[in-house]
Every structure is written in C-alpha cells, then in structure tokens.
Amino acid sequence: MNIGTASEKSGLPPKTIRYYEDIGLMKAGRAGNGYRDYSTEDVHRLRFLQRSRGLGFSVEECRQLLSLYDDKQRESAEVKAIAEAKLKEIDRKLAELVGLRDTLRHLVRHCHGDERPECPIMDGLAGEQATG
Amino acid sequence: MNIGTASEKSGLPPKTIRYYEDIGLMKAGRAGNGYRDYSTEDVHRLRFLQRSRGLGFSVEECRQLLSLYDDKQRESAEVKAIAEAKLKEIDRKLAELVGLRDTLRHLVRHCHGDERPECPIMDGLAGEQATG
DNA sequence: CCTACACTTTCCAGTCACTGGAAGGTCAAG
DNA sequence: CTTGACCTTCCAGTGACTGGAAAGTGTAGG
C-alpha cells in the first residue's frame, strides 16, 4: 500500500512517516515505481509509533519500544528489561494523567468562573510533590 | 525563591522555565537584585506544566490549561468548554496509554525472546483501528 | 577588603522532531 | 495526451527546548 493509505490508517502524516524512515526508525519496502510500499504489519508499527509519540515518549524511546518487536533474536533478558522499564514509565504516566484529569475535573466542578477572588484549587494544585 | 529551587521543586530545568517566560507562558516576579522570584503558587503552575508537557500536550494546549486558573474572570461557559475538551483529550490519552501498556505486557508475557519465527502480538498490535 | 565559587542574568547558536514548499516523476480517468 | 491526485527528493522553516559564552550577584573564608 502507498504512503497515503498508510498515513490514513496510522494517523501519521506522510511527512512524518518519511522522516521516520530518514532517521532509521521505520523503513518500508519499495514498489517497482520507486514508491514506498507498506504492509499491514508496517501500518501496525506506524500506529504504535503514533500512539507512543503522542503520549510523550521520545523518538529514541519509541525506537526501543519498536525493538521489542523487531529484535526477536535478542537476549530475552535484555528485551524484558527494556519492556519492564517502559511499563513502569507508562504506569507513572498513567498516574500523572489521572492526576491531571482530577485537577481539571475539580476545576470544572468547583471553580465555575463566577468571579471568585481565589480558586480553591490553586492551593492543592499539583501538590502531590515533585521530587518525591 | 530563586529559579534553581523552583526548578528542583517543579522538575523543570531552569532553561525551560526561562523559555516559558520568554514565550509568555509563565511569568515570575523579580527580586531587588534582578533575579526571578517564584512563589509556591508559581511552583504549582510549573509542576502543572511539567506534567502536561510530559504527557504530550503542546505548549499552546498548556497555555489553555493554565488559562483555566489564571482567567477566572472569563466567561464561565468558555472556560468550561476548554476544560471539558481537555478532559476528553485526557480520557483519550488514558485509553491509549492503557492500550500501550496492554500491548507491552502481552509482549513481556507471551514473546519471551525464544526465537519464535513470528510473535503472536504482531497481528493484534494496535489493531484497535486508527481512523475511528 | 579580596578571592573563590555557586548561582543568576541575557543572548545567541545548536538540536530534536517535525512541517511546508519547490521541482519533478507516476498513474488512472477522460 | 492532458489533467490532477498522488508520489519522489531536497532544502528551508518552526516549535520546544538546550548548551555555552560573558557578565552580574551572593556568600563564605582569609
């Protein structure tokens, strides 16, 4: 399939897909006419990249995540270590996202824009501690 | 408090904090010596920025999120609309993050690097649909 | 007082991850 | 065989930092 179709199916712009190829993150095959050719599996990977990039993982981290699929021959221990580190990171991100949602929900419910001098949220905002 | 302390407490590098001031995202007061001076509330905002940036929200989106706190005088409807749109986005991100975690967990459990020809995950990987 | 050193300031250049646009090739429809 | 949507490469620009220079500040020790 051509890059346009892969773009639609993955949610990544063609420009970005080409860029990922440039930096060696995601290489596609080529058809006889020189066009890039994407398989269903390629689209899965692009989707995966689209997701993880959108969730704040760097390109290097995404490279590691992708390597979990691509380097099946590698040491089981190494692959598992990377995967488990990433799982921890994801759990941390999940907790942060839940915290952000709670903050915002609280805001919507209690600070309804009726010109109070101070919003009760400001005090407890993100007060979970930073360096902990 | 000085920028260094605010940096430690917020988790954002001083460079980034200054950059946020440059682009008008987060302005701090100044002490007599010309040093930036951060209040506890300022640190809360920085923490908030640190979180939301790390979760894939753009600076412009963060500006909107912050405006929910800063522009208490604004139309209640407008503030609520922004907040609710952001809440939806956060819920979407949460779902994606859960999906990513499940994919990775599945990988760790079922593809333990023992040189199988094909990983059973590849088929179901990110198969939730893209354009839906 | 001076020195040392960590911290701060501004400014300017560089990096990462795209993103837009030009100039040109490919392909299916009419 | 033209039109137009798609593809190619290449190069420049943007958003969000990030590093480093040059200079001011603050404090502890001599």
pLDDT tens, position by position, for chain A (132 residues)? 999 999 999 999 999 999 999 999 999 999 999 999 999 999 999 999 999 999 888 999 899 888 876 665 555 666 677 778 889 989 999 998 998 888 888 777 765 544 443 444 444 444 444 333
Residue B37: strand, helix, or coil: strand
Domains of chain A: 1-70 (1.10.1660.10), 80-132 (no CATH)
Rounded to the nearest angstrom, the gap between the alpha carbon of residue A114 and the centroid of all alpha carbons in its chain is: 37
* Whole-number CA gyration radius for chain B: 21
Contact present, A72 and B120 (Cβ < 8 Å): no
Give mean pLDDT in consecutive 10-residue pieces for chain B, a chain of 132 residues: 96 97 95 96 93 90 81 61 84 91 78 46 43 33
Least Cα distance to B69 among A96, A124, A55 occurs for: A124
Residues of B in contact with A87 (CB under 8 A): 101, 104-105, 108
For B27, the token pair is: 């302005």
Instruction: List the 24-83 stretch of B: residues with Cβ below 8 A of A.
Output: 41, 43-45, 47-48, 50-56, 65, 68-69, 72-80, 83
pLDDT tens digit string along B49-78?
Answer: 999 999 888 999 899 888 876 665 555 666
Q: Please count the CA atoms within 13 angstroms of the CA of B52 that sit on its side-chain side.
A: 27
CA–C1' span, A114 to C23, in Å? 57
CB pairs under 8 A between A and B: 167
